[in-house]
């Protein structure tokens, strides 16, 4: 398939007016030195400074520059999703706008996708210049993501990543799902996921835009990604198993107490006076609720517009 450009560089940003001209010049220099045709897509996620004015100026002077401006701040996932929708390149590379990601990595990332046939290559900031308050939670999240997704990456949340064109057109990211794009890609059928150690630089301008809410949102989004990837089209397989297990535990315990009451313990003690009775009732109620949740999820899934949306790799 013929693509208009070899590389699309998608850059979400929020209040990064100081770094944008320098970042574009750096990308342009690297692209020209290595003979790569490219486009740069800036997504202004509701900046309050002069970021959009600078993007307009860059676009007026360079045909490779495109821009999207949000009315307000929607988050990095929304910015990346819109950038992916507009990207035309054979390989799509994402990076942050704060100059902490080095555009010098672009040629090697492009080579790994086109020559080594990776679907996705994630950067690994082996040596970081972030504060401990950011690095420690990141290590914990990366460990949990490796365990739950089975993807052996050291740095899921690295902003510097490269994708085949087909990958970014086959996934949808929202909320804070940008942290787990490798998992979304894997569950979409793109299993060739690689990793490259990349240079990480200290922030040159401004300050970090990430707040404390990422510590709560990260684990919740990870659970959502894993659940939707494994059970999104068959929710009853999850709810039914756990519902059946809980109901059997409750029913078995009830049966045991009934036999014990009739044939063993003839002291006249009421079943309702036994702790096991309440455990059995709670287990059966929870089991039934799981079943109902599964049935409702199946009804919603059956009526979803994406119930038969399967990715076709080739067709003759």
Judge whether residue 65 has pLDDT over 50. Answer: yes
pLDDT in the model for residue 193 = 94
Rounded average pLDDT over 230-248: 81
Q: Is pLDDT larger for residue 2 or for residue 106?
A: 106
Mean pLDDT value of segment 209-230: 65
| 117-126, 128-137, 206-215, 220-229: least confident range | 206-215
Say how many Å lie between the first and final Cα of the chain, rounded.
15
Residue 263 — very low, low, confident or very high, per pLDDT cuts 50/70/90? confident
Least confident piece of the model among 18-32, 108-122, 293-307:
293-307
- Any idea where the domains of the chain sit in the sequence? 5-231, 235-302
With both helix axes pointing from N to C terminus, report the angle between 214-231 and 235-259 in degrees, rounded to the nearest 10.
90
What are the phi and psi torsion angles at 197 (to 5°)?
-70, 125
pLDDT digits (tens, 9 = 90+) for 141-186: 788 888 888 888 888 888 899 999 999 999 888 777 888 889 889 8
Cα dihedral 213, 219, 220, 225 sign? positive
Q: When comparing pLDDT for 142 and 114, which is higher? A: 114
User: What pLDDT digit, counting tens, does each position of 10-44 carry?
Assistant: 999 999 999 999 999 999 999 999 999 999 999 99
Q: What number is the average pLDDT over the span 268-281?
A: 79
When the pLDDT of each residue in the chain is averaged and rounded to a whole number, the result is 84
The whole-angstrom separation of Cα 213 and Cα 211 is 5
| Cα gap 243→289, rounded to integer Å | 7
Whether residue 218 is predicted with pLDDT greater than 70 in this model: the reply is: no
**According to DSSP H, which parts of 34-154 are helical?**
51-61, 76-86, 106-114, 132-149
Q: Which CATH architecture has domain 5-231?
A: Alpha-Beta Complex (3.90)
Tokens 């520059």 locate to 65
pLDDT above 60: residue 311:
no
Give CA 94 to chain center in angstroms.
Answer: 13
41 DSSP β-pair partners: 10, 66
pTM, rounded to two decimals: 0.74
Q: What is the pLDDT of residue 316?
A: 45
Q: What is the pLDDT of residue 297?
A: 75
pLDDT at 82 over 50: yes
Provide the pLDDT for residue 35: 95
**303 pLDDT higher than 60:** yes
- Tell me which H or E stretch contains 122: strand 120-124
pLDDT of 128 > 80? The answer is no
Please give the Cα distance from 91 to 167 (Å, whole number): 10
Nearest alpha-carbon partner for 163 in 106, 124, 201: 106
Nearest to residue 168, comparing CAs of 88, 70, 233, 104? 88
**Beta carbons within 8 Å of 164's beta carbon, 6+ residues apart:** 90, 91, 92, 113, 118, 119, 120, 190
pLDDT at residue 309 above 60? no
Residue 308's pLDDT is: 46
Per-residue pLDDT at 304 exceeds 70: no
pLDDT bin (cut points 50, 70, 90) of residue 212 is low
Cα separation values, 262 from 12, 78, 250, Å: 70, 63, 18
* Stated length of the chain: 316
Determine the pLDDT at residue 267. Answer: 65
pLDDT at position 155 is 87
Tokens of 156: 């899921």
pLDDT tens figures, 243-252: 889 989 998 9
């Amino acid at each position: 398939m013929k693509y208009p450009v070899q590389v699309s560089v998608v850059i979400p940003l929020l209040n990064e007016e100081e770094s944008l001209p320098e970042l574009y010049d750096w990308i342009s220099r690297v692209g020209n030195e290595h003979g790569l045709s490219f486009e740069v897509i800036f997504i202004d996620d509701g900046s309050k400074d002069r970021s959009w004015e600078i993007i307009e100026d860059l676009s007026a002077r360079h045909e490779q520059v495109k821009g999207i401006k949000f009315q307000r701040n929607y988050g990095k996932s929304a910015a990346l999703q819109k950038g992916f929708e507009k990207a035309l390149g054979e390989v799509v590379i994402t990076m942050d706008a704060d100059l902490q990601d080095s555009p010098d990595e672009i040629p090697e990332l492009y080579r790994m996708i086109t020559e080594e046939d990776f679907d996705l290559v994630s950067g690994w900031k082996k040596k970081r210049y972030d504060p401990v308050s950011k690095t420690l939670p990141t290590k914990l999240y990366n460990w949990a993501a490796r365990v739950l997704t089975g993807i052996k990456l050291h740095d899921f949340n690295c902003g510097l990543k490269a994708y085949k064109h087909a990958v970014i057109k086959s996934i949808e990211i929202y909320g804070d799902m940008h942290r787990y794009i490798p998992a979304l890609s894997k569950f979409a059928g793109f299993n060739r996921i690689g990793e490259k150690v990349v240079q990480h630089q200290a922030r040159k301008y401004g300050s970090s835009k990430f707040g404390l809410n990422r510590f709560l949102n990260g684990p919740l989004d990870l659970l959502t990604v894993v659940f939707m990837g494994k059970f999104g089209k068959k929710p009853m397989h999850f709810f039914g198993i756990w519902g059946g297990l809980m109901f059997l535990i409750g029913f078995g315990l009830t049966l045991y107490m009934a036999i014990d009451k009739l044939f063993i313990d003839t002291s006249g003690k009421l079943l309702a006076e036994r702790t096991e009775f309440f455990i059995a009732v709670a287990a059966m109620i929870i089991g039934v609720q799981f079943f109902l949740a599964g049935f409702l999820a199946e009804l919603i899934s059956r009526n979803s517009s994406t119930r038969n949306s399967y990715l076709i790799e080739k067709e003759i």
